[in-house]
Amino acid sequence: MAHSYTPGLTVTDHTVVHRRRMLPLPGKVLVNVGDRVRSDQPVARAELPGKVFPINLANQLSVAPGEIKDYVVKKEGDVVGKDEILAENKPLLKWFKTEIRSPVAGTIESVSPVTGQILLREPPKVLQLLAYTDGAVIETIPQQGVVVETACSFVQGIFGIGGEASGEIIMAVKSPDEPLTPDRFDSTMKGKVVVGGAFLSFETMRQAKSVGVAGVVVGGIHDEDLRALLGYDLGVAITGTEQVGFTLILTEGFGAIPMAAKTFKLLSAQAGQKASISGATQIRAGVIRPEIIIPKGEGDVGMVAQTPREGIRLGDPVRIIRDPLFGRIGEVSALPSELTKISTESEVRVLEVKFSDGKRVVIPRTNIEVIEGA
Protein backbone atom coordinates (compact mmCIF):
# COMPACT_ATOMS: atom_id res chain seq x y z
CA MET A 1 0.00 0.00 0.00
CA ALA A 2 3.01 2.19 0.33
CA HIS A 3 2.90 2.53 -3.44
CA SER A 4 -0.37 4.46 -3.41
CA TYR A 5 0.81 8.04 -3.31
CA THR A 6 0.62 11.06 -5.54
CA PRO A 7 3.83 11.54 -7.46
CA GLY A 8 4.90 15.11 -6.92
CA LEU A 9 6.61 17.78 -8.91
CA THR A 10 10.30 17.48 -9.61
CA VAL A 11 12.54 20.32 -8.49
CA THR A 12 16.18 19.41 -8.88
CA ASP A 13 19.49 21.05 -9.53
CA HIS A 14 21.02 18.14 -11.40
CA THR A 15 19.26 15.78 -13.70
CA VAL A 16 19.15 14.60 -17.26
CA VAL A 17 15.94 15.06 -19.20
CA HIS A 18 14.96 13.57 -22.52
CA ARG A 19 12.57 15.55 -24.65
CA ARG A 20 10.86 13.72 -27.46
CA ARG A 21 10.27 16.15 -30.30
CA MET A 22 7.69 14.75 -32.67
CA LEU A 23 6.16 16.12 -35.84
CA PRO A 24 2.35 16.01 -36.01
CA LEU A 25 2.61 14.16 -39.33
CA PRO A 26 5.43 12.37 -41.17
CA GLY A 27 8.23 14.61 -42.43
CA LYS A 28 12.01 14.82 -42.58
CA VAL A 29 14.47 14.66 -39.69
CA LEU A 30 17.21 17.30 -40.12
CA VAL A 31 19.79 16.21 -37.54
CA ASN A 32 21.73 13.08 -36.68
CA VAL A 33 22.39 11.15 -33.51
CA GLY A 34 25.23 12.83 -31.60
CA ASP A 35 24.58 16.32 -32.97
CA ARG A 36 24.57 19.18 -30.44
CA VAL A 37 21.49 21.34 -30.94
CA ARG A 38 20.35 24.73 -29.71
CA SER A 39 16.85 25.38 -28.44
CA ASP A 40 15.91 27.49 -31.47
CA GLN A 41 17.40 25.09 -34.04
CA PRO A 42 15.02 23.15 -36.37
CA VAL A 43 15.44 19.40 -35.90
CA ALA A 44 12.70 18.16 -38.21
CA ARG A 45 10.44 19.53 -40.89
CA ALA A 46 7.07 18.54 -42.30
CA GLU A 47 4.65 19.90 -44.80
CA LEU A 48 1.20 20.51 -43.41
CA PRO A 49 -1.37 19.80 -46.12
CA GLY A 50 -2.92 23.02 -47.32
CA LYS A 51 -6.52 24.09 -46.78
CA VAL A 52 -9.19 22.43 -48.89
CA PHE A 53 -11.75 24.38 -50.90
CA PRO A 54 -14.74 22.42 -52.19
CA ILE A 55 -16.49 23.91 -55.26
CA ASN A 56 -19.80 22.48 -56.40
CA LEU A 57 -19.28 22.55 -60.17
CA ALA A 58 -22.48 20.69 -60.97
CA ASN A 59 -24.52 23.39 -59.28
CA GLN A 60 -22.60 26.26 -60.78
CA LEU A 61 -22.79 24.84 -64.31
CA SER A 62 -26.36 23.59 -63.85
CA VAL A 63 -25.47 20.09 -65.01
CA ALA A 64 -25.81 16.63 -63.48
CA PRO A 65 -22.87 15.54 -61.25
CA GLY A 66 -22.05 12.71 -63.65
CA GLU A 67 -21.54 15.21 -66.49
CA ILE A 68 -18.98 17.49 -64.89
CA LYS A 69 -16.00 15.62 -66.33
CA ASP A 70 -17.09 16.94 -69.74
CA TYR A 71 -16.67 20.51 -68.53
CA VAL A 72 -13.57 20.34 -66.34
CA VAL A 73 -10.49 21.67 -68.12
CA LYS A 74 -8.06 20.39 -65.49
CA LYS A 75 -7.57 16.93 -64.07
CA GLU A 76 -6.84 15.53 -60.61
CA GLY A 77 -3.31 16.44 -59.51
CA ASP A 78 -3.03 19.49 -61.80
CA VAL A 79 -1.61 22.69 -60.39
CA VAL A 80 -3.87 25.74 -60.76
CA GLY A 81 -3.30 29.41 -60.16
CA LYS A 82 -5.75 31.78 -58.53
CA ASP A 83 -8.50 32.77 -60.99
CA GLU A 84 -7.39 30.15 -63.49
CA ILE A 85 -10.30 28.45 -65.28
CA LEU A 86 -11.26 25.12 -63.74
CA ALA A 87 -14.30 24.33 -65.83
CA GLU A 88 -16.35 25.91 -68.57
CA ASN A 89 -19.31 25.12 -70.75
CA LYS A 90 -19.31 25.42 -74.55
CA PRO A 91 -22.55 27.10 -75.60
CA LEU A 92 -23.42 27.96 -79.15
CA LEU A 93 -23.58 31.61 -78.23
CA LYS A 94 -20.53 32.88 -76.37
CA TRP A 95 -22.63 35.25 -74.20
CA PHE A 96 -23.99 32.17 -72.46
CA LYS A 97 -20.56 30.86 -71.63
CA THR A 98 -19.93 30.09 -67.96
CA GLU A 99 -16.41 29.85 -66.61
CA ILE A 100 -15.61 28.56 -63.13
CA ARG A 101 -12.38 30.01 -61.83
CA SER A 102 -10.21 28.82 -59.02
CA PRO A 103 -10.59 30.90 -55.84
CA VAL A 104 -7.08 29.95 -54.70
CA ALA A 105 -3.75 28.75 -56.03
CA GLY A 106 -3.19 25.05 -55.37
CA THR A 107 -3.75 21.59 -56.82
CA ILE A 108 -6.84 19.70 -57.83
CA GLU A 109 -7.36 17.06 -55.18
CA SER A 110 -10.42 15.33 -56.62
CA VAL A 111 -13.17 15.64 -59.18
CA SER A 112 -16.25 13.72 -58.11
CA PRO A 113 -18.86 12.54 -60.60
CA VAL A 114 -21.06 11.47 -57.67
CA THR A 115 -21.33 14.78 -55.86
CA GLY A 116 -20.38 17.08 -58.71
CA GLN A 117 -17.70 18.65 -56.53
CA ILE A 118 -14.13 19.59 -57.20
CA LEU A 119 -11.79 19.78 -54.23
CA LEU A 120 -8.90 22.23 -54.44
CA ARG A 121 -6.03 22.14 -52.00
CA GLU A 122 -3.76 25.07 -51.25
CA PRO A 123 0.02 24.49 -51.29
CA PRO A 124 1.37 22.86 -48.14
CA LYS A 125 2.70 24.92 -45.25
CA VAL A 126 6.17 24.13 -43.98
CA LEU A 127 6.28 23.26 -40.32
CA GLN A 128 9.61 23.43 -38.55
CA LEU A 129 10.06 21.57 -35.31
CA LEU A 130 12.59 23.24 -32.99
CA ALA A 131 14.89 21.43 -30.57
CA TYR A 132 13.22 23.36 -27.68
CA THR A 133 16.19 22.88 -25.37
CA ASP A 134 19.96 22.98 -25.82
CA GLY A 135 21.37 19.47 -25.75
CA ALA A 136 22.42 16.46 -27.79
CA VAL A 137 20.38 14.33 -30.17
CA ILE A 138 20.40 10.80 -28.77
CA GLU A 139 17.81 9.22 -31.03
CA THR A 140 16.21 9.92 -34.36
CA ILE A 141 12.84 8.48 -35.28
CA PRO A 142 12.67 8.33 -39.07
CA GLN A 143 10.06 10.69 -40.54
CA GLN A 144 8.82 11.58 -37.08
CA GLY A 145 11.30 13.39 -34.89
CA VAL A 146 14.17 13.16 -32.43
CA VAL A 147 14.97 12.75 -28.77
CA VAL A 148 17.08 15.53 -27.27
CA GLU A 149 19.04 14.85 -24.10
CA THR A 150 19.90 17.72 -21.79
CA ALA A 151 21.85 17.78 -18.55
CA CYS A 152 20.07 20.49 -16.64
CA SER A 153 18.48 21.99 -13.58
CA PHE A 154 14.82 21.14 -13.78
CA VAL A 155 11.66 22.59 -12.22
CA GLN A 156 8.19 21.21 -12.86
CA GLY A 157 5.26 23.55 -12.35
CA ILE A 158 1.74 22.50 -11.47
CA PHE A 159 -0.16 24.46 -14.09
CA GLY A 160 0.66 26.79 -16.94
CA ILE A 161 -0.60 28.44 -20.06
CA GLY A 162 1.13 29.38 -23.29
CA GLY A 163 3.59 27.48 -25.45
CA GLU A 164 7.33 26.92 -25.56
CA ALA A 165 9.68 29.85 -25.07
CA SER A 166 13.19 30.53 -23.91
CA GLY A 167 15.03 33.35 -22.23
CA GLU A 168 17.39 34.38 -19.49
CA ILE A 169 16.16 33.86 -15.93
CA ILE A 170 15.69 37.06 -13.95
CA MET A 171 14.55 37.28 -10.33
CA ALA A 172 11.98 40.03 -9.75
CA VAL A 173 11.48 39.52 -6.00
CA LYS A 174 13.75 38.82 -3.08
CA SER A 175 11.77 36.15 -1.25
CA PRO A 176 9.34 33.37 -2.20
CA ASP A 177 6.44 34.90 -0.25
CA GLU A 178 6.72 38.30 -1.90
CA PRO A 179 4.01 39.07 -4.47
CA LEU A 180 5.01 40.10 -7.97
CA THR A 181 3.68 43.64 -8.48
CA PRO A 182 3.51 45.71 -11.71
CA ASP A 183 6.33 48.03 -10.60
CA ARG A 184 8.80 45.10 -10.67
CA PHE A 185 8.74 45.05 -14.46
CA ASP A 186 10.92 47.20 -16.67
CA SER A 187 12.10 47.20 -20.27
CA THR A 188 15.26 45.22 -19.48
CA MET A 189 13.03 42.18 -18.90
CA LYS A 190 11.94 41.94 -22.53
CA GLY A 191 12.38 38.35 -23.79
CA LYS A 192 13.35 37.07 -20.33
CA VAL A 193 11.88 34.54 -17.93
CA VAL A 194 10.80 36.53 -14.87
CA VAL A 195 10.53 34.73 -11.53
CA GLY A 196 8.16 36.10 -8.88
CA GLY A 197 7.14 34.91 -5.45
CA ALA A 198 3.73 34.19 -4.02
CA PHE A 199 1.26 35.86 -6.31
CA LEU A 200 0.63 37.57 -9.62
CA SER A 201 -2.37 39.89 -10.09
CA PHE A 202 -4.13 40.65 -13.37
CA GLU A 203 -2.55 44.13 -13.43
CA THR A 204 0.87 42.54 -13.16
CA MET A 205 0.05 40.16 -16.00
CA ARG A 206 -0.88 43.15 -18.16
CA GLN A 207 2.40 44.81 -17.27
CA ALA A 208 4.35 41.63 -18.11
CA LYS A 209 2.67 41.55 -21.50
CA SER A 210 3.38 45.18 -22.26
CA VAL A 211 7.07 44.74 -21.37
CA GLY A 212 7.20 41.66 -23.64
CA VAL A 213 8.62 39.09 -21.26
CA ALA A 214 9.08 35.53 -22.54
CA GLY A 215 7.60 33.98 -19.44
CA VAL A 216 6.60 34.45 -15.82
CA VAL A 217 7.07 31.86 -13.06
CA VAL A 218 5.14 32.43 -9.85
CA GLY A 219 3.65 30.54 -6.86
CA GLY A 220 -0.03 31.17 -7.52
CA ILE A 221 -2.71 33.30 -9.16
CA HIS A 222 -6.41 33.80 -8.60
CA ASP A 223 -8.72 31.91 -10.92
CA GLU A 224 -10.60 35.16 -11.56
CA ASP A 225 -7.40 36.72 -12.93
CA LEU A 226 -6.79 33.71 -15.15
CA ARG A 227 -10.31 34.11 -16.52
CA ALA A 228 -9.63 37.80 -17.18
CA LEU A 229 -6.34 36.95 -18.92
CA LEU A 230 -7.83 34.24 -21.14
CA GLY A 231 -11.20 35.87 -21.69
CA TYR A 232 -13.05 32.66 -20.80
CA ASP A 233 -13.46 30.21 -17.94
CA LEU A 234 -11.00 27.35 -18.33
CA GLY A 235 -12.96 24.10 -18.00
CA VAL A 236 -10.34 21.40 -18.28
CA ALA A 237 -6.62 21.66 -17.72
CA ILE A 238 -5.46 21.09 -21.27
CA THR A 239 -3.37 24.11 -22.21
CA GLY A 240 -0.32 25.17 -24.19
CA THR A 241 -1.79 26.87 -27.24
CA GLU A 242 -3.01 30.09 -25.57
CA GLN A 243 -1.67 33.32 -26.98
CA VAL A 244 -1.71 35.77 -24.10
CA GLY A 245 1.63 37.40 -24.83
CA PHE A 246 3.83 35.30 -22.54
CA THR A 247 4.10 31.84 -21.03
CA LEU A 248 2.83 31.59 -17.46
CA ILE A 249 3.91 28.87 -15.04
CA LEU A 250 2.45 28.34 -11.57
CA THR A 251 4.60 26.31 -9.22
CA GLU A 252 2.05 25.83 -6.41
CA GLY A 253 -1.56 26.36 -7.50
CA PHE A 254 -4.49 28.77 -7.33
CA GLY A 255 -4.52 31.44 -4.62
CA ALA A 256 -1.76 33.52 -3.11
CA ILE A 257 0.72 30.75 -2.24
CA PRO A 258 4.42 31.33 -1.58
CA MET A 259 6.70 29.50 -3.98
CA ALA A 260 8.32 26.48 -2.31
CA ALA A 261 11.62 27.65 -0.81
CA LYS A 262 13.53 24.94 -2.65
CA THR A 263 12.14 26.03 -6.02
CA PHE A 264 12.84 29.69 -5.32
CA LYS A 265 16.37 28.95 -4.17
CA LEU A 266 17.12 26.85 -7.22
CA LEU A 267 15.83 29.47 -9.64
CA SER A 268 17.69 32.25 -7.77
CA ALA A 269 20.92 30.29 -8.13
CA GLN A 270 20.33 30.06 -11.89
CA ALA A 271 19.58 33.76 -12.45
CA GLY A 272 21.28 34.94 -15.63
CA GLN A 273 21.20 31.46 -17.20
CA LYS A 274 19.20 30.64 -20.30
CA ALA A 275 16.07 28.55 -19.66
CA SER A 276 13.65 26.74 -21.94
CA ILE A 277 10.10 26.89 -20.62
CA SER A 278 6.76 25.47 -21.58
CA GLY A 279 3.35 26.26 -20.11
CA ALA A 280 1.68 23.23 -21.72
CA THR A 281 -0.38 21.38 -19.15
CA GLN A 282 -2.45 18.28 -19.64
CA ILE A 283 -3.67 16.65 -16.50
CA ARG A 284 -5.14 13.57 -18.14
CA ALA A 285 -4.36 11.18 -20.96
CA GLY A 286 -0.60 11.22 -20.41
CA VAL A 287 0.10 14.05 -18.01
CA ILE A 288 2.07 17.04 -19.17
CA ARG A 289 3.16 19.57 -16.57
CA PRO A 290 4.68 22.96 -17.31
CA GLU A 291 8.45 23.00 -16.96
CA ILE A 292 11.57 25.07 -16.69
CA ILE A 293 14.70 23.47 -18.12
CA ILE A 294 18.01 25.21 -17.45
CA PRO A 295 20.65 23.41 -19.52
CA LYS A 296 24.11 22.86 -18.07
CA GLY A 297 27.27 23.32 -20.10
CA GLU A 298 28.48 20.74 -22.61
CA GLY A 299 31.16 19.45 -20.28
CA ASP A 300 28.76 18.83 -17.43
CA VAL A 301 28.33 15.10 -17.85
CA GLY A 302 27.98 12.11 -15.60
CA MET A 303 24.44 12.75 -14.43
CA VAL A 304 21.73 10.18 -14.89
CA ALA A 305 18.04 10.50 -15.58
CA GLN A 306 16.01 10.11 -12.43
CA THR A 307 14.02 6.93 -12.10
CA PRO A 308 10.54 6.99 -10.62
CA ARG A 309 10.65 6.35 -6.89
CA GLU A 310 8.88 3.47 -5.21
CA GLY A 311 6.31 4.61 -2.68
CA ILE A 312 6.46 7.07 0.16
CA ARG A 313 8.85 6.86 3.16
CA LEU A 314 9.37 8.45 6.55
CA GLY A 315 11.31 11.69 6.24
CA ASP A 316 10.17 12.39 2.66
CA PRO A 317 9.61 16.12 2.04
CA VAL A 318 5.96 16.65 1.13
CA ARG A 319 3.62 19.44 0.13
CA ILE A 320 0.00 19.51 1.31
CA ILE A 321 -2.19 19.95 -1.75
CA ARG A 322 -5.65 20.45 -0.31
CA ASP A 323 -7.30 22.86 2.10
CA PRO A 324 -7.24 23.62 4.99
CA LEU A 325 -3.40 23.48 4.94
CA PHE A 326 -2.95 23.89 1.20
CA GLY A 327 0.60 24.79 0.20
CA ARG A 328 2.25 23.93 3.54
CA ILE A 329 5.47 21.95 3.30
CA GLY A 330 6.75 19.45 5.83
CA GLU A 331 8.13 15.96 6.14
CA VAL A 332 6.48 12.60 6.68
CA SER A 333 6.74 11.71 10.36
CA ALA A 334 4.42 8.69 10.58
CA LEU A 335 2.76 6.27 8.17
CA PRO A 336 -0.03 4.48 10.04
CA SER A 337 -1.37 1.57 7.99
CA GLU A 338 -4.92 1.38 9.36
CA LEU A 339 -7.82 3.40 7.99
CA THR A 340 -8.55 6.57 9.97
CA LYS A 341 -11.84 8.46 10.26
CA ILE A 342 -11.41 12.12 9.28
CA SER A 343 -13.80 14.98 10.04
CA THR A 344 -15.94 14.30 6.97
CA GLU A 345 -16.53 10.83 8.52
CA SER A 346 -14.73 9.17 5.59
CA GLU A 347 -12.37 6.38 6.58
CA VAL A 348 -9.16 6.90 4.67
CA ARG A 349 -5.48 6.11 4.71
CA VAL A 350 -3.55 8.93 6.33
CA LEU A 351 -0.05 9.98 7.19
CA GLU A 352 1.44 12.38 9.69
CA VAL A 353 3.33 15.46 8.53
CA LYS A 354 5.78 17.37 10.71
CA PHE A 355 6.30 21.06 9.95
CA SER A 356 9.53 22.96 10.54
CA ASP A 357 8.05 24.49 13.75
CA GLY A 358 7.62 20.98 15.15
CA LYS A 359 3.83 20.92 14.77
CA ARG A 360 2.38 17.62 13.51
CA VAL A 361 -0.85 17.11 11.55
CA VAL A 362 -2.67 14.08 10.19
CA ILE A 363 -3.51 14.33 6.48
CA PRO A 364 -5.17 11.91 4.03
CA ARG A 365 -2.42 10.34 1.96
CA THR A 366 -4.02 11.48 -1.27
CA ASN A 367 -3.81 15.09 -0.10
CA ILE A 368 -0.04 15.31 -0.10
CA GLU A 369 2.50 15.11 -2.86
CA VAL A 370 6.11 14.16 -2.54
CA ILE A 371 8.59 16.86 -3.51
CA GLU A 372 10.54 14.91 -6.07
CA GLY A 373 14.19 15.32 -6.83
CA ALA A 374 15.12 16.03 -3.22
- Choose one: 77-85, 111-119, 161-169, 205-213; the region binding another protein (CB under 8 A): 111-119
Nearer to another protein, 275 or 368 (CB): 368
Query: Which of 89, 98, 107, 117 touches another protein (CB under 8 A)?
Result: 117
- What separation in angstroms does the CA of 349 have from each of 8, 128, 313, 324? 18, 49, 14, 18
For another protein, the binding residues in 272-301 under the rule CB under 8 A are 281, 283-289
Nearer to another protein, 140 or 367 (CB): 367
The reply on whether position 52 binds another protein by CB under 8 A is yes
Residue 34: CB minimum distance to another protein, A: 24
Total Cβ atoms within 10 A of residue 306: 15
x/- binding map, residues 202-241, to another protein, per CB under 8 A? --------------------xxx-x------xxxxx----
The reply on whether position 22 binds another protein by CB under 8 A is yes
Q: Three-state SS across the chain?
A: CCCCCECCCEEEEEEEEEEEEECCCCCEECCCCCCEECCCCEEEEEEECCCEEEEEHHHHHCCCHHHHHHCECCCCCCEECCCCEEEECCCCCHHHCCEEECCCCEEEEEECCCCCEEEEECCCEEEEEECCCCEEEEEEECCCEEEEEEEEEEEECCEEECCEEEEEEEECCCCCCCCECHHHCCHHHCCCEEECCCEECHHHHHHHHHHCCCEEEEEEECHHHHHHHHCCCCCCCECCCCCCCCEEEEEEEECCCCCCHHHHHHHHHCCCCEEEEECCCECCCCCECCEEEEECCCCCCCCCCCCCCCCCCCCCEEEECCCCCCCCEEEEEECCCCCEECCCCCEECEEEEECCCCCEEEEEHHHEEECECC
Q: Three-state SS across 284-329?
A: CCCCECCEEEEECCCCCCCCCCCCCCCCCCCCCEEEECCCCCCCCE
The reply on whether position 83 binds another protein by CB under 8 A is no
- Choose one: 161-169, 193-201, 318-326, 351-359; the region binding another protein (CB under 8 A): 318-326
Residue 280: CB minimum distance to another protein, A: 13
From CA 138, how far away is CA 158, in angstroms rounded?
A: 28
The reply on whether position 366 binds another protein by CB under 8 A is yes
- Choose one: 33-41, 109-117, 163-171, 328-336; the region binding another protein (CB under 8 A): 109-117
Residue 325: CB minimum distance to another protein, A: 8
The reply on whether position 6 binds another protein by CB under 8 A is yes
Binding residues with another protein: total (CB under 8 A):
66
The reply on whether position 345 binds another protein by CB under 8 A is yes
- Choose one: 73-81, 132-140, 197-205, 337-345; the region binding another protein (CB under 8 A): 337-345
Nearer to another protein, 169 or 312 (CB): 312
Nearer to another protein, 112 or 150 (CB): 112
Residue 354: CB minimum distance to another protein, A: 18
Nearer to another protein, 180 or 363 (CB): 363
Query: Which of 75, 344, 357, 358 touches another protein (CB under 8 A)?
Result: 344
Instruction: Summarize as ranges the residues that interact with another protein (CB under 8 A).
Output: 1, 3-7, 22-26, 49, 51-54, 65, 109-110, 112, 114-117, 119, 121, 144, 158-159, 222-224, 226, 233-237, 253-255, 281, 283-289, 308, 321-324, 326, 342-346, 348, 363-364, 366-367, 369
